[in-house]
Chains A and B, each alone.
Chain A
Amino acid sequence: MLFPGETIDTISRSGTFCDNGIWRTTVLGYSDDSGQFAMHNKEQIVPKIGSEVFCRVFKITYSMAQAHILSVNNRTLQSSFLGIIRLQDIRKHEVEKLVMEECFQPGDIVKAKVISLGDSKYFYLSTAETEYGVILAWSKDKRLLPYNWEEMIDSDTQQTYKRKVAKPLILE
Chain B
Amino acid sequence: MELEAEMWSFTHSIVDTAAGSAYIESKTHKILCVVSSPSEFSELLSSEEYQRHAKAHLNVVSPHSSQVKDALSSLIILEKYPKSVIEVKVQVISGDEDTALVYIINAVSLAVIDSGIEIRDTLIAVSAGFKDGKVIIGANQLVLGVLVNTDKVVLIRLEGVVDEQQAGMLIQACFDTAKHMFQMVKNSY
Contact = CB atoms under 8 A, between A and B. Distances in A.
Interface of A: 1, 3-7, 15, 17, 19, 24, 26-28, 39-44, 46, 48, 77-82, 117, 120-121, 123
Interface residues of B, number: 34
- In this complex, the member of A5, A17, A77, A80 whose beta carbon has the largest number of chain B beta carbons within 10 angstroms is A5
A122 to B, nearest CB: 9
B114 to A, nearest CB: 7
B87 to A, nearest CB: 10
Contacts of B115: 41, 44
A15 B116 CA distance: 9
By secondary structure, the B interface counts as loop
Contacts of A6: 149
Contacts, number: 92
Contacts of B116: 27-28, 39-44
B121 A117 contact: no
Nearest to A41: B116
Nearest to A80: B40
B113 A81 contact: no
Given A26-B77, A78-B19, A46 B38 contact: yes
A82 B83 CA distance: 11
Contacts of A43: 116
A79 B43 contact: no
A69 to B, nearest CB: 9
A160 B77 CA distance: 49
B150 A5 contact: yes
A70 B162 CA distance: 54
A5 B39 contact: no
A79 B19 CA distance: 11
Contact of B37 (A15, A27, A78, A117): A78
A121 B43 contact: yes
Contact of B149 (A24, A78, A120): A24
Contact of A26 (B19, B118, B147, B189): B118
B122 interface: yes
